[in-house]
Structure 1
Amino acid sequence: MKKIILGLSTLCLIAFTSCKENAAKKIDEKNVAEAAVRDASASKFPVIEFEEKEHDFGEIEAKTAVSTVFKYKNSGDAPLVITDIKSTCGCTVPQDWSREPLQPGESGQFTVKFNGSGSNKVSKTITVTANTEKGSETVKITAFVKPDPNAAAKKPATPTIQAK
């Protein structure tokens, strides 16, 4: 048993001391320069700036469709790509945004349509998914939806109880 341990120890000692080549000599300076350029450009992100981050429609009648346009600008150092725009519910529909990269300094826009559902103060959040540093930005629409005057005229049917 002692011979086996002594033999393995000797083998390990020979294996560790035989690699005398310095690992630093294997580094290619060309690769280091390319990595530095890549890392510098990887830290550049597009920045989306909105003209307004919240739009208030004011008072609207129930079931009245309204729309607004959110304008934005890429104020970052890299092309801006918007991959998706979603709202919190189906009553608010974002549409008409460019799926093409927006170069630094260029502007774009998208439309948000709200169908007037709900009652009283209504607030909806629209999430813009893009290649910004955060990955997503949000804008809001708000409105005060007045009750439908025709709804007051309709009274709900009261259930009748039949005696046996």
Structure 2
Amino acid sequence: MKEDIEKESEEAPIEIAPLVLTDEESEAYASFSENFDQEILRSLSPMSIAKIYVQAILDEKDDILYELYTDRPDYIMWTKEEDEQFPKQDRGNRRLTEETYNHLAEGKFVETGEDEGYIKYYRSEDPDSLMGFKLIRNENGIWQVAFMPIQ
């Protein structure tokens, strides 16, 4: 048992690919964070929405995160008030976020329905590191992040 623990700690950590927003994504992120106007996001791809979501996690902007979640009533899992009550330690940390969303920007968007889809990506070169990031198009045609987007 002790050998297994030592072996795990010797394994190389995942090499993190830095998340880089394009100029358009950075401008949208800045503008959206000022007033949460969904129209700012209209021209953005699902990939861009996902990248902005991850940037908001890294920046610890919980208010922006919540506003990026879908507003479709059938998909809402908790209210903004409930979200504000989540303890900081339950939101993870920077390293966990970087590992979870590592290589997300290199993924491919797969549309699974008229208003649903996910970004398929691999967190590392390991074929078992396949991840999915779910998005839902709102009733106004704007892509938003699903509550608990990681599949």
Could you say which structure has the larger radius of gyration? 1
Higher helix share: 2
Whose strand proportion is higher, 1 or 2?
1
| TM more than 0.5 | no
TM range (shorter): under 0.3
TM norm structure 1: 0.26
